[in-house]
Amino acid sequence: MRRPSLLLALLLTLPAFAQAPAQAPAEDDRRSDEHSYAQPDKVRIGDLALDLAVDFADRQLAGHATLTLAWADPEATELVLDTRDLAIERVEARNGSRKWREVEFALAAEDERFGSKLTVSLPRQYEQVRIHYATSPEASGLQWLAPSMTSGGKTPFMFSQSQAIHARSWVPLQDTPSVRFTYTARIRTPADVMALMSADNDPQAARDGDYSFTMPQAIPSYLMAIAAGDLVFKPISDRVGVWAEPQVVDRAVKEFEDTERMIEVTESLYGPYRWERYDLLILPPSFPFGGMENPRLSFITPTVIVGDKSLVSLIAHELAHSWSGNLVTNATWKDMWLNEGFTSYVENRIVEELFGKARADMEFTISRNGLREELKDIPEERQVLMLPARAGSDPEDALGAVAYDKGAWFLQFLEQRFGRETFDAFLRSWFDQHAFQSATSEQFLAFLEAELMARQPDAVTREEVMTWLTAPGIPDFAPAIESPRFAAVDAARADWLKNRKTARDLPTAEWTTQEWVYFLEGMPESLEPARMVELDQAFRFTGTSNGELAQRWYPLSERSEYFEARPAMSLFLRKIGRRKLIMPTYEALVASEEGLAFATQVYAMSKAGYHPITQGSVEAMLAKARKATEESTK
The annotation places the binding site at 161-163, 288-293, 317, 321, 340, 578-580
Q: Which residues pair with 94 in a beta bridge?
A: 128
440 alpha carbon, distance to own chain's centre: 20
Burial of 601 (C-beta count, 10 Å sphere; 0-12/13-18/19+): exposed
Closest by CA to 145, choosing from 235, 245, 51, 23, is 245
Instruction: Give the residue from 5, 150, 144 showing the smallest Cα distance to 582.
Output: 5
Bridge-based pairing state of the strands 116-121 and 78-83: antiparallel
Please, which residues bridge with residue 414 across strands? none
CB count within 10 Å of CB 459 equals 15
Give the DSSP H/E element, type plus range, for residue 104.
strand 101-107
For 528, residues 6+ apart whose C-beta sits below 8 A from its C-beta are 560
Residue 202 carries which side chain, given as an amino acid letter?
D
Give the helix/strand (H/E) hosting 531: helix 529-539
Annotated binding site for a peptide: 161-163, 288-293, 578-580
Identify whether 276 is a catalytic site residue: no
The end-to-end CA distance of the chain, in Å, is 43
Closest CA to 223 of 133, 325, 139: 325
How far is the CA of 124 from the CAs of 94, 100, 101, in angstroms? Answer: 10, 14, 12
Closest to 348 in 3D by CA, of 368, 372, 330: 368
DSSP 380: G
SS3 sequence, 605-621?
Answer: HHHHHCCHHHHHHHHHH
96: left (phi > 0), else alpha (psi -120 to 50), else beta? Answer: left
Distances (CA, A) of 203 to 155, 191, 366, 494, 627: 20, 17, 37, 52, 51
Nearest CA to 412 among 472, 470, 367, 355? 367
404 is catalytic: yes
Q: Which of 285, 615, 472, 307 is nearest to 299 (CA)?
A: 285
214 Ramachandran zone, left/alpha/beta (phi>0; psi -120 to 50): beta
Cis bond upstream, residue 53 (ω within 30):
no
Closest-CA residue to 301 (of 614, 620, 622) = 614
CB atoms within 10 A of CB 300: 27
Q: Which residues make up each annotated binding site for Zn(2+)? A: 317, 321, 340
Q: List the catalytic residue out of 34, 92, 245, 318.
A: 318
**Separation of alpha carbons 296 and 279, rounded Å:** 6
Residue in 211, 273, 278, 404 annotated catalytic = 404
Give burial (CB, 10 Å; 0-12/13-18/19+) of 89: exposed
Angle at 279 between CA 146 and CA 209, to 5 degrees: 45
**Known catalytic residues?**
318, 404
